[in-house]
Amino acid sequence: MPRYLVRLIIIFVLGAVAVLAIRQFMVPASFYQLGHYRASVLPEVAAQEPVYAGHAACEECHGDVLEVKEKGRHTGLSCEVCHGAAATHAADPSSTKPFTELDRSFCLVCHEKNISRPAGFPMVDGLAHNIKEDCRKCHKPHSPSPNKGEEK
Amino acid sequence: MTHDDTLSRRDILKKTFALGSGVFLCTFAVKAAKGESPDPTPAPKGAGDPTGSYKLPNGYEPSAHYYGYGIDLDKCIGCTRCVDACKTENSVSRTEPNFRTWVERYVIRDDDTLEVCSPKGGLDPYPAIEDPGSVAKSFFVPKMCAHCERSPCEQVCPVGATLKSPDGVVLIDKKYCIGCGYCIQACPYGCRYFDESTRTAGKCTLCYHRITRGLRPACAEICPTGARVFGDLREKDGPLAKFLREHRVQVLKPHMGTRPKLYYHNLDKEVR
């Protein structure tokens, strides 16, 4: 074999070894563990802390409210729809209190008359339906049908 | 002419190689001395099957689940609490174009003209509909990442920063993302945006931090009418299986071959 070919082969082999060595060093341990990505990204993303506690956390302490809510038309709603994100309250109930003072404009976020909304959804014309009255005068939020509402 | 004051080709090659290997070995030695691993949190190695036994630190096993999402358009009232909840849960900027989910309002007139709007994803009030008498139909369509089985965004990523987890969630590795924006172009549903604060791509994570703790994603948790249904496709008596069993569902752009896992009930032909 001519000498120049031997040299060339040696250079190629050295190059290949260098590439493999660098690759071994640069690619993270978990990179091909699950696929063409770092598997350790899953625990990294999952480490984020929830802001909404979830309905189950509310049920632990507020069973009395839940009983009223289950009988009313707001039964499917999570508490945090109206009371706001409450993970900090669920972790330490004395630290923060979810807001409870909800005015007419908040009710109308869902219940304002709107032709884009599905037919049959309970809607009112906010400018005509007992204007200036607090909704809670007739509709108890946890069981909102008028006259049938519980005290909560 | 002599070569005394210049380097011969052989010398240059020798010295370049020596310098190169020296630098490489030095960085290796320094990193080894510091006890650094190139991967700061190496995942626990699974025995046997590479995906079967992978677990998160809290014991959650990704390969035991396969998530999907259902949206019942008959129930969506366009309150956009889901958009608000997503922003709150994930600390996403409330400015354009940072939307992981948004709600579009469709207005179809008697003469078949179509108006679609989503002011600030639905966080701003929708403009009043002019001439309501000529409206044939109008409805709301919430949109979000479909966590496609064959996700184009994952396929185009040049650095392995977009991934599909074993539980079927398309996620972004923010440490690896170079912000090239290919994935933003590739998504046929427009579900990705460029996050200026991190200079990386941003998208819906299906609230991965919540679902791995047994909670629902924030948007599904907060939807007041139950229009949004989150569930595990492997759970045969779960909420999503029930939704798929009881409703006729469609996906957006099926011809794209992306196999989205976001199923809509009562999707109008005008919705794209």
ipTM here:
0.87
Residue B2 has pLDDT above 70, yes or no: no
Query: For B62-149+204-265, CATH number?
Result: 3.30.70.20
Residue A142 has pLDDT above 90, yes or no: yes
Question: Which region, left, alpha or beta, applies to residue B162 given φ > 0 means left and ψ of -120 to 50 means alpha?
Answer: beta
User: With contacts defined as CB-CB under 8 Å, which chain B residues touch A46?
Assistant: 56, 58, 60, 208-209, 212-213
How much is the pLDDT for A35? 92
Mutate to test the interface with B, among A19, A32, A45 (most CBs of B within 10 A): A45
Cβ distance B50 to A33 less than 8 Å, yes or no, reads: yes
Q: Where are the domains of chain B?
A: 62-149+204-265
For Cα atoms B181, B182, B188, give the angle at the middle one, nearest 5 degrees: 110
Cα(B125)–Cα(B118) distance, rounded to whole angstroms? 9
How much is the pLDDT for B97? 87
B270: distance to nearest CA of chain A, Å? 15
Cβ distance B43 to A76 less than 8 Å, yes or no, reads: no
pLDDT per position as a tens digit, A29-68: 899 999 999 999 999 999 999 999 999 999 999 999 999 9
Bigger pLDDT: B51 vs A142: A142
pLDDT per position as a tens digit, B69-95: 999 999 999 999 999 999 999 999 998
How much is the pLDDT for B49? 47
Chain B's closest residue to A86, CA to CA, is B89
Instruction: Give the burial class of A82: count Cβ atoms within 10 A of its Cβ; 0-12 exposed, 13-18 middle, 19 or more buried.
Output: buried
Mutate to test the interface with A, among B72, B75, B118, B225 (most CBs of A within 10 A): B225
Give me the percent of chain B exceeding a pLDDT of 90: 78
Q: Which residues contact B90 (CB under 8 A, 6 or more apart)?
A: A48, B100, B205, B207, B218
Bond preceding residue A122 cis, omega within 30 of 0: no
The pLDDT-based confidence of B120 (bands split at 50, 70, 90) is very high
Cβ distance B78 to A34 less than 8 Å, yes or no, reads: no
Residue corresponding to tokens 């008359």 = A113
Q: Lowest-pLDDT range, A111-115, B9-13, B157-161, B238-242? A: B9-13
pLDDT per position as a tens digit, B181-200: 999 999 999 999 999 999 99
Cα(B50)–Cα(B56) distance, rounded to whole angstroms? 14
Cβ distance A42 to B208 less than 8 Å, yes or no, reads: yes
Cβ distance A40 to B40 less than 8 Å, yes or no, reads: yes
A84: distance to nearest CA of chain B, Å? 9
Say which DSSP state B124 is in: S
Residue corresponding to tokens 């207005």 = B107
How much is the pLDDT for A100? 82
Q: Which residues contact B45 (CB under 8 A, 6 or more apart)?
A: A33
Cβ distance A76 to B226 less than 8 Å, yes or no, reads: yes
**Residues forming beta bridges with residue A11, ordered by sequence position:** none
What predicted TM-score, i.e. pTM, was given to this entire model? 0.84
Q: Which residues contact B175 (CB under 8 A, 6 or more apart)?
A: A38, A41, A44, B161
pLDDT per position as a tens digit, A81-138: 999 999 999 999 998 899 887 889 999 999 999 999 999 999 999 999 998 889 998 9
Tell me the average pLDDT across B218-229: 97
Cα(A25)–Cα(B29) distance, rounded to whole angstroms? 11
